[in-house]
Structure 1
């Protein structure tokens, strides 16, 4: 079921007498209950795009539809009601520092006029959901970054929204804490069926919990699709750069350069997708084609749609053996890209 639909959406700002196009003619569909990622570097337009979903920014052109709401046609009162179903969490938490964990989470319920007994029951439920039992009376200054973000998530869930917008929600966190917050978001998505739109500049974040992704550059969505498909066949250079954040180890290039200096073999990048990532293809290759294979570097990334493996090898053999080896790999659904010849 389609929950979010953007049609030809653009946003132009007027800055110092000049027009700046932050978002350009974006078409986007997001299904109910999915975790959808938007990835791009700073200035790509992704944060502006997410603010167009709840009309914190008004599109210059185009239409925004969320659930049954034609967002641009709503009165101010109706828009306030719609926004209760479209919650948001932020990079820097935006907590009320003079309020306890309990009172931060209760705040949107107070604004909505929920009775105190019902409010307290809901807050207790959310505290348990996000793993903050025992910290109800703590103030934000007494919490770690991960705990602060858990408060932010609980507060965003208070009014039982249909959509959770996450604008760089893990960027201020260390890798271990980031992983725990992403696991929490995935758990919430599974338990509540909540639709999550996740904005980030880090492809490992997309890889961990998103089912589909849109890649933004210079205000445009330049590529979108199933995460595993995007990993397998990135169409744009910016997408290939993001995919390499996950699939290519940092020291892979160094290992390849060292291999080239030794002038041995042909360096090939192998790509495995889905179940093929766990198969012993390299050992079968050695036996079938009588070649010497030296493994340089490798990595297997897990996505919500399956695994994606990348392996750099050096193959030694004559021209026919090399061609037979590539044909063997392709026959086993392994993509083989020649990086350099000996």
Structure 2
């Protein structure tokens, strides 16, 4: 669906060349929600603006649905952009126009008739949940409602691709979740390919299938969200994962807790991945083996591809029973187990 080959952007600033995007290559499948994450200055917003040539690339190709965007002339690009919707962090609405007029604006530019505009605008207002707010002006809307207008406007010409540049960064957590749920609903209903730029890992976790991590203009890590979450390789990726799973300071808390409870039995670290997060493992162990289980600490989070997390458990009882329980986990389940303290 989207092929990006050797994409680069160099800005000249104070007689110096600044490389914002550096030889970036990605392939994005049709219908995916593809996340691109990076800290401020990583080049991610420049990257997304290169896809529809709001920024002109210094080098490289962008191919969307077999059309090379980077090779189009001005007239061809104007038509191609009708199939590439975009929403922004600060909404970019026309403040002197109503909700319905904002949504209708790209249809006017495309030459749609008044009747066609009216029908399409009402469809989109219903889709994004703004019924009853058609005549309101942006100043009369909440942040979430403004972004819903932005989404509806971006969908006006039935695009194949939706670019989201920090679309939830200006919103509170509850509103962010409602917008992310809307994007997932649109992706499912319309089969739309979505590229989502963010600096927030929980946004990636909630709705993305694939993720690319950017640093200093380069993609330093990419893959399925669950794989990247569970096996982060680069330091920057590990920092992002800590946004969800907790920082290394929590490891110290766990160590102190383990030392507190390590005077009896064994301390086990259980690692759950994907469907294993739904297993009632603790209750199953308690029924099968004559042991007592004390849950010390744990955290499980969900991604689009399934859940993952870690649970620390103290197992008390006869050593043979504990060993049989550990063997059962290793041989009969897909949960990973590690004995990290043995007081016997």
TM over 0.5: yes
Output aligned runs, 1:190-229, within 5 Å.
190-229=188-227
Please tell me whether residue 244 in structure 1 is matched to residue 245 in structure 2: no
Unaligned runs of 5+ in 1: none
- In 2, the alpha carbon distance for the partners of 1:227 and 1:258 equals 31
Report the TM-score, using the length of structure 1 for normalisation. 0.89
> Match of 1:44, SS?
coil
Output aligned runs, 1:74-223, within 5 Å.
74-223=72-221
The C-alpha deviation readout for 1:66-111, integer Å capped at 9, x for no partner, is: 1122112111110111111111101111111111101111111111
Q: Taking structure 1 as reference, are residues 43 and 103 closer, same or farther at Cα in structure 2, changes over 3 Å only? A: same
The C-alpha deviation readout for 1:186-226, integer Å capped at 9, x for no partner, is: 11111111110011111111111111111112222111112
User: Does structure 2 retain, via aligned residues, the 8 Å contact 1:4–1:65?
Assistant: yes
Deviates more, 1:283-292 or 1:229-238: 283-292
Q: Taking structure 1 as reference, are residues 206 and 267 closer, same or farther at Cα in structure 2, changes over 3 Å only? A: farther
User: Does structure 1 retain, via aligned residues, the 8 Å contact 2:261–2:314?
Assistant: no
- In 2, the alpha carbon distance for the partners of 1:340 and 1:53 equals 52
- The residue that corresponds to 1:304 in the other structure is 304
Note the C-alpha offset of 1:289: 7.7
> Match of 1:164, SS?
strand
Deviates more, 1:81-90 or 1:285-294: 285-294
Please tell me whether residue 335 in structure 1 is matched to residue 342 in structure 2: no
- How many residue pairs end up in the alignment? 340
Q: Taking structure 1 as reference, are residues 286 and 218 closer, same or farther at Cα in structure 2, changes over 3 Å only? A: farther
Over aligned residue pairs, what C-alpha RMSD do you find? Answer: 2.8
Deviates more, 1:66-75 or 1:241-250: 241-250
Note the C-alpha offset of 1:281: 2.6
- In 1, the alpha carbon distance for the partners of 2:20 and 2:151 equals 27
- In 2, the alpha carbon distance for the partners of 1:19 and 1:320 equals 67
- The residue that corresponds to 1:273 in the other structure is 273
- In 1, the alpha carbon distance for the partners of 2:4 and 2:195 equals 13
User: Does structure 1 retain, via aligned residues, the 8 Å contact 2:2–2:27?
Assistant: yes
- In 1, the alpha carbon distance for the partners of 2:328 and 2:246 equals 23
Q: Taking structure 1 as reference, are residues 61 and 330 closer, same or farther at Cα in structure 2, changes over 3 Å only? A: farther
- In 2, the alpha carbon distance for the partners of 1:318 and 1:17 equals 74
- In 1, the alpha carbon distance for the partners of 2:317 and 2:7 equals 54
> Match of 1:84, SS?
helix
The C-alpha deviation readout for 1:133-176, integer Å capped at 9, x for no partner, is: 00001011111110000000000001111100001101111111
Output aligned runs, 1:35-50, within 5 Å.
35-50=33-48
User: Does structure 1 retain, via aligned residues, the 8 Å contact 2:262–2:341?
Assistant: no
Deviates more, 1:27-36 or 1:145-154: 27-36
Q: Taking structure 1 as reference, are residues 9 and 329 closer, same or farther at Cα in structure 2, changes over 3 Å only? A: farther
Deviates more, 1:296-305 or 1:201-210: 296-305
- In 2, the alpha carbon distance for the partners of 1:327 and 1:172 equals 50
The C-alpha deviation readout for 1:204-252, integer Å capped at 9, x for no partner, is: 1111111111111222211111222222322223223322322349995
